[in-house]
Structure 1
Amino acid sequence: MSTPVLLTMSGSLRKGSYNRMLIAEAVRAFGEAEVIEGDLDLPLFNGDVEDAGVPAKVQTLVDQVARADALIIGAPEYNKGISGVLKNAIDWLSRSKPPVLKDKIAVILSAAGGRTGGETGHFMTQSILTQLQVNVVHGPLILVAAAPKEFGEDGALNNDFLKGQVADRMARLRQML
Protein backbone atom coordinates (compact mmCIF):
# COMPACT_ATOMS: atom_id res chain seq x y z
CA MET A 1 0.00 0.00 0.00
CA SER A 2 1.16 3.53 -0.69
CA THR A 3 1.53 6.05 2.10
CA PRO A 4 -1.91 6.46 3.71
CA VAL A 5 -3.57 9.89 3.68
CA LEU A 6 -5.06 10.98 6.99
CA LEU A 7 -7.38 13.98 7.23
CA THR A 8 -7.56 15.51 10.69
CA MET A 9 -10.66 17.43 11.71
CA SER A 10 -10.91 19.24 15.03
CA GLY A 11 -14.32 20.32 16.25
CA SER A 12 -12.53 23.09 18.13
CA LEU A 13 -11.10 25.96 16.10
CA ARG A 14 -8.78 27.11 18.89
CA LYS A 15 -5.16 26.45 17.90
CA GLY A 16 -4.24 25.27 21.40
CA SER A 17 -7.30 23.08 21.88
CA TYR A 18 -6.97 19.78 23.69
CA ASN A 19 -8.72 18.03 20.82
CA ARG A 20 -6.02 19.28 18.43
CA MET A 21 -3.40 17.99 20.87
CA LEU A 22 -5.16 14.63 21.03
CA ILE A 23 -5.30 14.45 17.24
CA ALA A 24 -1.56 15.19 17.10
CA GLU A 25 -0.97 12.31 19.55
CA ALA A 26 -3.01 10.01 17.30
CA VAL A 27 -1.03 11.07 14.22
CA ARG A 28 2.25 10.36 16.05
CA ALA A 29 0.96 6.97 17.13
CA PHE A 30 -0.19 6.10 13.60
CA GLY A 31 3.27 6.55 12.14
CA GLU A 32 4.16 7.22 8.54
CA ALA A 33 1.33 8.96 6.69
CA GLU A 34 0.51 12.03 4.68
CA VAL A 35 -1.45 14.23 7.06
CA ILE A 36 -3.83 16.95 5.92
CA GLU A 37 -5.49 19.31 8.39
CA GLY A 38 -9.08 20.07 7.51
CA ASP A 39 -10.20 23.64 8.06
CA LEU A 40 -13.62 23.56 9.73
CA ASP A 41 -13.93 27.34 9.95
CA LEU A 42 -16.75 27.22 7.41
CA PRO A 43 -19.80 29.38 6.75
CA LEU A 44 -22.93 28.11 8.46
CA PHE A 45 -24.79 25.58 6.37
CA ASN A 46 -27.61 27.29 4.51
CA GLY A 47 -29.53 25.71 1.65
CA ASP A 48 -29.80 29.07 -0.12
CA VAL A 49 -26.02 29.46 -0.02
CA GLU A 50 -25.64 25.89 -1.28
CA ASP A 51 -28.08 26.58 -4.14
CA ALA A 52 -26.01 29.62 -5.16
CA GLY A 53 -22.85 27.49 -5.21
CA VAL A 54 -20.89 25.56 -2.63
CA PRO A 55 -18.41 27.92 -0.91
CA ALA A 56 -14.76 27.38 -1.86
CA LYS A 57 -13.73 26.45 1.70
CA VAL A 58 -16.45 23.81 1.83
CA GLN A 59 -15.42 22.40 -1.55
CA THR A 60 -11.83 22.20 -0.35
CA LEU A 61 -12.92 20.14 2.66
CA VAL A 62 -15.08 17.89 0.45
CA ASP A 63 -12.10 17.30 -1.82
CA GLN A 64 -9.85 16.56 1.16
CA VAL A 65 -12.32 14.01 2.54
CA ALA A 66 -12.60 12.36 -0.88
CA ARG A 67 -8.80 12.08 -1.10
CA ALA A 68 -8.25 10.82 2.45
CA ASP A 69 -7.95 7.15 3.33
CA ALA A 70 -9.17 7.89 6.86
CA LEU A 71 -10.41 10.69 9.08
CA ILE A 72 -9.17 11.45 12.58
CA ILE A 73 -11.81 13.53 14.31
CA GLY A 74 -11.39 15.45 17.55
CA ALA A 75 -14.91 15.74 18.93
CA PRO A 76 -15.13 18.22 21.79
CA GLU A 77 -18.22 18.56 23.92
CA TYR A 78 -19.86 21.96 24.20
CA ASN A 79 -22.75 22.30 26.63
CA LYS A 80 -23.38 18.53 26.69
CA GLY A 81 -23.41 18.19 22.91
CA ILE A 82 -21.44 18.17 19.67
CA SER A 83 -19.63 21.40 18.87
CA GLY A 84 -21.36 23.65 16.36
CA VAL A 85 -18.18 23.74 14.28
CA LEU A 86 -18.07 19.95 13.88
CA LYS A 87 -21.81 19.60 13.30
CA ASN A 88 -21.72 22.34 10.66
CA ALA A 89 -18.82 20.66 8.83
CA ILE A 90 -20.62 17.31 8.87
CA ASP A 91 -23.79 18.99 7.59
CA TRP A 92 -21.90 20.46 4.63
CA LEU A 93 -20.08 17.17 3.94
CA SER A 94 -23.32 15.20 4.07
CA ARG A 95 -24.61 17.20 1.10
CA SER A 96 -21.76 16.39 -1.30
CA LYS A 97 -22.46 14.60 -4.54
CA PRO A 98 -21.25 11.88 -4.67
CA PRO A 99 -21.41 11.33 -0.90
CA VAL A 100 -17.81 11.60 0.33
CA LEU A 101 -18.49 10.34 3.84
CA LYS A 102 -20.13 7.06 2.82
CA ASP A 103 -17.80 4.13 3.58
CA LYS A 104 -15.03 6.45 4.83
CA ILE A 105 -13.07 5.12 7.83
CA ALA A 106 -12.88 7.37 10.89
CA VAL A 107 -11.47 7.46 14.38
CA ILE A 108 -13.20 9.68 16.94
CA LEU A 109 -11.29 11.04 19.95
CA SER A 110 -12.49 13.47 22.60
CA ALA A 111 -10.82 15.66 25.18
CA ALA A 112 -12.44 18.08 27.59
CA GLY A 113 -11.67 19.93 30.76
CA GLY A 114 -14.53 18.26 32.61
CA ARG A 115 -14.81 14.89 34.29
CA THR A 116 -16.44 12.99 31.40
CA GLY A 117 -13.84 13.82 28.76
CA GLY A 118 -16.43 14.92 26.22
CA GLU A 119 -18.47 11.74 26.34
CA THR A 120 -21.76 13.24 25.14
CA GLY A 121 -20.12 15.10 22.25
CA HIS A 122 -18.30 11.88 21.33
CA PHE A 123 -21.50 9.82 21.32
CA MET A 124 -23.36 12.43 19.28
CA THR A 125 -20.56 12.59 16.70
CA GLN A 126 -20.47 8.80 16.45
CA SER A 127 -24.25 8.63 16.06
CA ILE A 128 -24.28 11.20 13.25
CA LEU A 129 -21.37 9.58 11.40
CA THR A 130 -22.91 6.12 11.69
CA GLN A 131 -26.12 7.41 10.13
CA LEU A 132 -24.02 8.77 7.24
CA GLN A 133 -22.47 5.29 6.79
CA VAL A 134 -19.01 6.22 8.01
CA ASN A 135 -17.07 3.21 9.30
CA VAL A 136 -16.07 4.29 12.79
CA VAL A 137 -13.16 2.31 14.22
CA HIS A 138 -14.65 0.94 17.41
CA GLY A 139 -13.11 0.08 20.73
CA PRO A 140 -13.10 1.57 24.19
CA LEU A 141 -13.97 5.26 23.91
CA ILE A 142 -10.96 7.53 23.94
CA LEU A 143 -12.06 10.26 26.33
CA VAL A 144 -9.50 12.53 27.95
CA ALA A 145 -11.09 14.00 31.07
CA ALA A 146 -9.50 16.86 33.01
CA ALA A 147 -7.52 17.54 29.83
CA PRO A 148 -5.38 20.38 31.22
CA LYS A 149 -3.78 17.85 33.58
CA GLU A 150 -3.27 15.15 30.92
CA PHE A 151 -1.19 17.11 28.40
CA GLY A 152 2.33 18.39 28.99
CA GLU A 153 3.61 21.81 28.01
CA ASP A 154 4.81 20.26 24.73
CA GLY A 155 1.19 19.30 23.90
CA ALA A 156 1.80 15.56 24.21
CA LEU A 157 -0.25 13.25 26.41
CA ASN A 158 1.56 12.49 29.65
CA ASN A 159 -0.75 9.65 30.70
CA ASP A 160 0.59 6.22 29.69
CA PHE A 161 -2.84 4.55 29.85
CA LEU A 162 -4.37 7.09 27.48
CA LYS A 163 -1.32 6.97 25.19
CA GLY A 164 -1.76 3.21 25.02
CA GLN A 165 -5.45 3.57 24.13
CA VAL A 166 -4.60 6.00 21.33
CA ALA A 167 -1.79 3.76 20.05
CA ASP A 168 -4.09 0.71 20.03
CA ARG A 169 -6.79 2.57 18.11
CA MET A 170 -4.33 3.85 15.54
CA ALA A 171 -2.90 0.33 15.09
CA ARG A 172 -6.45 -0.89 14.40
CA LEU A 173 -6.91 1.92 11.91
CA ARG A 174 -3.69 1.02 10.13
CA GLN A 175 -4.85 -2.61 9.87
CA MET A 176 -8.12 -1.48 8.26
CA LEU A 177 -6.40 0.51 5.52
Structure 2
Amino acid sequence: MAAILALAGSNSSTSINFKLVRHTAALIQNHEVQMLNMSRYPFPIFSEDEEKQKGYSNSLIELKNDIANANALILSVNEHNGNPSAYFKNVLDWLSRLERKFLLDTKVLLMSTAPGKRGGIGALEVIQNLLPRFGAEIASTFSLPSFHENFNENGISDETLKKQHQVALDVFLETIK
Protein backbone atom coordinates (compact mmCIF):
# COMPACT_ATOMS: atom_id res chain seq x y z
CA MET A 1 0.00 0.00 0.00
CA ALA A 2 1.41 3.36 -1.07
CA ALA A 3 1.05 6.68 0.71
CA ILE A 4 -0.37 9.24 -1.73
CA LEU A 5 -0.49 12.98 -1.09
CA ALA A 6 -3.28 14.76 -3.00
CA LEU A 7 -3.48 18.53 -3.48
CA ALA A 8 -4.29 21.32 -5.90
CA GLY A 9 -1.92 24.12 -6.81
CA SER A 10 -4.56 26.65 -5.85
CA ASN A 11 -5.06 28.57 -2.62
CA SER A 12 -8.71 29.32 -3.44
CA SER A 13 -11.31 28.00 -0.99
CA THR A 14 -13.55 27.26 -4.01
CA SER A 15 -10.87 25.68 -6.21
CA ILE A 16 -12.22 23.57 -9.07
CA ASN A 17 -8.81 21.88 -9.23
CA PHE A 18 -9.22 20.78 -5.61
CA LYS A 19 -12.67 19.39 -6.54
CA LEU A 20 -10.99 17.35 -9.29
CA VAL A 21 -8.34 16.14 -6.82
CA ARG A 22 -10.99 15.11 -4.26
CA HIS A 23 -12.90 13.23 -6.96
CA THR A 24 -9.74 11.46 -8.12
CA ALA A 25 -8.72 10.52 -4.58
CA ALA A 26 -12.19 9.07 -3.93
CA LEU A 27 -11.63 6.58 -6.78
CA ILE A 28 -8.50 5.11 -5.16
CA GLN A 29 -8.66 1.90 -3.19
CA ASN A 30 -5.94 -0.05 -1.37
CA HIS A 31 -3.73 3.00 -0.86
CA GLU A 32 -3.55 5.61 1.87
CA VAL A 33 -4.50 9.05 0.50
CA GLN A 34 -3.80 12.24 2.44
CA MET A 35 -5.68 15.30 1.19
CA LEU A 36 -4.12 18.75 1.58
CA ASN A 37 -6.24 21.86 1.14
CA MET A 38 -3.71 24.49 0.08
CA SER A 39 -6.08 27.33 1.01
CA ARG A 40 -4.85 26.63 4.54
CA TYR A 41 -1.21 27.19 3.56
CA PRO A 42 -0.46 30.91 3.21
CA PHE A 43 3.11 31.71 2.23
CA PRO A 44 4.73 35.09 1.72
CA ILE A 45 6.13 35.82 -1.73
CA PHE A 46 9.57 34.28 -1.87
CA SER A 47 12.57 36.57 -1.63
CA GLU A 48 16.07 36.00 -0.37
CA ASP A 49 15.53 38.85 2.10
CA GLU A 50 12.43 37.15 3.52
CA GLU A 51 14.32 33.86 3.74
CA LYS A 52 17.28 35.46 5.57
CA GLN A 53 15.13 37.50 7.95
CA LYS A 54 12.45 34.99 8.86
CA GLY A 55 13.66 31.60 7.70
CA TYR A 56 11.16 28.88 6.85
CA SER A 57 7.64 28.77 8.24
CA ASN A 58 6.33 25.75 10.13
CA SER A 59 3.70 25.35 7.38
CA LEU A 60 6.41 25.07 4.74
CA ILE A 61 8.37 22.52 6.74
CA GLU A 62 5.18 20.52 7.37
CA LEU A 63 4.36 20.57 3.65
CA LYS A 64 7.86 19.43 2.73
CA ASN A 65 7.62 16.61 5.29
CA ASP A 66 4.20 15.54 3.98
CA ILE A 67 5.69 15.36 0.49
CA ALA A 68 8.75 13.46 1.74
CA ASN A 69 6.54 10.93 3.56
CA ALA A 70 4.48 10.21 0.45
CA ASN A 71 5.32 7.65 -2.21
CA ALA A 72 3.30 9.48 -4.81
CA LEU A 73 1.53 12.76 -5.49
CA ILE A 74 -1.78 13.67 -7.10
CA LEU A 75 -1.59 17.29 -8.17
CA SER A 76 -4.01 19.43 -10.15
CA VAL A 77 -2.70 22.84 -11.16
CA ASN A 78 -4.79 25.89 -11.81
CA GLU A 79 -4.07 28.32 -14.60
CA HIS A 80 -3.85 32.11 -14.59
CA ASN A 81 -3.30 33.70 -18.01
CA GLY A 82 -1.91 30.51 -19.54
CA ASN A 83 0.55 29.76 -16.71
CA PRO A 84 0.49 28.18 -13.27
CA SER A 85 -0.80 30.48 -10.55
CA ALA A 86 1.68 32.77 -8.83
CA TYR A 87 0.68 31.04 -5.60
CA PHE A 88 1.79 27.60 -6.78
CA LYS A 89 4.99 28.87 -8.38
CA ASN A 90 5.75 30.55 -5.05
CA VAL A 91 5.16 27.26 -3.19
CA LEU A 92 7.63 25.54 -5.51
CA ASP A 93 10.16 28.34 -4.98
CA TRP A 94 9.98 27.98 -1.20
CA LEU A 95 10.09 24.16 -1.25
CA SER A 96 13.11 24.14 -3.55
CA ARG A 97 14.98 26.38 -1.09
CA LEU A 98 14.43 23.86 1.69
CA GLU A 99 15.57 20.97 -0.48
CA ARG A 100 16.28 21.19 -4.20
CA LYS A 101 15.15 17.62 -4.94
CA PHE A 102 12.11 17.72 -2.66
CA LEU A 103 10.23 15.41 -5.08
CA LEU A 104 13.02 12.88 -5.56
CA ASP A 105 11.62 9.54 -6.76
CA THR A 106 8.02 10.78 -6.34
CA LYS A 107 5.54 9.51 -8.91
CA VAL A 108 3.06 12.20 -9.95
CA LEU A 109 -0.40 12.15 -11.47
CA LEU A 110 -0.49 15.68 -12.88
CA MET A 111 -3.86 17.16 -13.74
CA SER A 112 -5.44 20.49 -14.54
CA THR A 113 -8.88 21.90 -15.11
CA ALA A 114 -10.33 25.29 -15.94
CA PRO A 115 -13.66 26.79 -16.98
CA GLY A 116 -12.35 27.18 -20.54
CA LYS A 117 -12.00 24.69 -23.38
CA ARG A 118 -8.23 24.27 -22.92
CA GLY A 119 -8.66 22.87 -19.41
CA GLY A 120 -5.62 24.59 -17.94
CA ILE A 121 -3.31 22.80 -20.37
CA GLY A 122 -0.87 25.74 -20.43
CA ALA A 123 -0.26 25.46 -16.67
CA LEU A 124 -0.11 21.66 -16.90
CA GLU A 125 2.60 21.80 -19.57
CA VAL A 126 4.70 24.29 -17.61
CA ILE A 127 4.51 22.22 -14.43
CA GLN A 128 5.08 18.98 -16.36
CA ASN A 129 8.41 20.42 -17.53
CA LEU A 130 9.27 21.92 -14.14
CA LEU A 131 8.62 19.13 -11.62
CA PRO A 132 11.32 16.75 -12.94
CA ARG A 133 13.90 19.42 -12.00
CA PHE A 134 12.92 18.70 -8.41
CA GLY A 135 13.18 14.93 -8.85
CA ALA A 136 9.57 14.07 -9.75
CA GLU A 137 8.59 11.39 -12.23
CA ILE A 138 5.42 12.36 -14.10
CA ALA A 139 3.56 9.05 -14.34
CA SER A 140 0.54 10.37 -16.25
CA THR A 141 -1.38 13.54 -17.03
CA PHE A 142 -5.00 14.55 -17.49
CA SER A 143 -6.66 17.83 -18.42
CA LEU A 144 -10.38 18.43 -17.91
CA PRO A 145 -11.70 21.18 -20.19
CA SER A 146 -14.84 23.24 -19.56
CA PHE A 147 -15.08 22.22 -15.91
CA HIS A 148 -18.59 23.54 -15.30
CA GLU A 149 -19.98 21.64 -18.31
CA ASN A 150 -18.04 18.40 -17.69
CA PHE A 151 -18.10 18.00 -13.91
CA ASN A 152 -21.00 17.68 -11.47
CA GLU A 153 -21.66 16.32 -7.96
CA ASN A 154 -21.04 12.79 -9.28
CA GLY A 155 -17.69 13.64 -10.86
CA ILE A 156 -16.76 13.83 -14.53
CA SER A 157 -19.97 13.75 -16.56
CA ASP A 158 -18.60 13.46 -20.11
CA GLU A 159 -18.05 9.74 -20.78
CA THR A 160 -15.00 10.19 -23.03
CA LEU A 161 -13.29 12.47 -20.52
CA LYS A 162 -14.27 10.14 -17.69
CA LYS A 163 -12.54 7.25 -19.47
CA GLN A 164 -9.43 9.37 -20.19
CA HIS A 165 -9.28 10.33 -16.51
CA GLN A 166 -9.59 6.69 -15.44
CA VAL A 167 -6.80 5.65 -17.82
CA ALA A 168 -4.52 8.38 -16.44
CA LEU A 169 -5.34 7.28 -12.88
CA ASP A 170 -4.78 3.60 -13.71
CA VAL A 171 -1.39 4.32 -15.31
CA PHE A 172 -0.40 6.35 -12.23
CA LEU A 173 -1.52 3.62 -9.83
CA GLU A 174 0.34 0.97 -11.82
CA THR A 175 3.60 2.89 -11.32
CA ILE A 176 3.26 2.86 -7.53
CA LYS A 177 2.57 -0.86 -7.04
Does TM-score exceed 0.5, indicating one fold? yes
The structure with the largest strand share of the pair is 2
The answer to whether the Cα contact below 8 Å between 2:8 and 2:76 also exists between their aligned partners in 1 is yes
Q: Specify which structure has the bigger relative contact order, considering alpha-carbon pairs within 8 angstroms and separated by 6 or more residues.
A: 1
Give the equivalent residue in structure 1 for 2:111: 109
CA contact 1:94–1:101 (8 Å) conserved in 2: no
Equivalent in the alignment of 1:96: 98
> What is the letter of the counterpart of residue 156 of structure 1?
G
Structure 1 residues 36 and 47: CA distance shift in structure 2, 3 A: farther
4+ aligned runs moved over 6 Å, structure 1: none
TM-score (norm 1): 0.87
- Deviations along 1:81-133, whole A, 9 cap, x unmatched? 11112111111121223732122111110100111111111101111112223
Deviation at 1:70, TM superposition (A): 0.7
- Map 1:20-39 to 2 at 5 A: 20-38=18-36, 39=38
User: 1:173 — aligned with what?
Assistant: 172
TM-score by length of 2: 0.87
* Structure 2: gaps (5+ residues): none
Identity of matched residues, %: 24
Superimposed CA distance per residue, residues 134-158 of structure 1 (whole angstroms, 9 cap, x where no aligned partner): 10013xx421111111111x26221
**Runs (5+) with no aligned partner, structure 1:** none
Alignment partner, residue 145 of structure 1 = 145
Pairs within 5 Å for 1:1-177: 3-38=1-36, 39=38, 40-51=41-52, 52-97=54-99, 99-138=101-140, 141-152=141-152, 154=153, 156-177=155-176
CA distance in 2, matches of 1:35, 1:44: 29
**Aligned-pair RMSD on alpha carbons?**
1.8
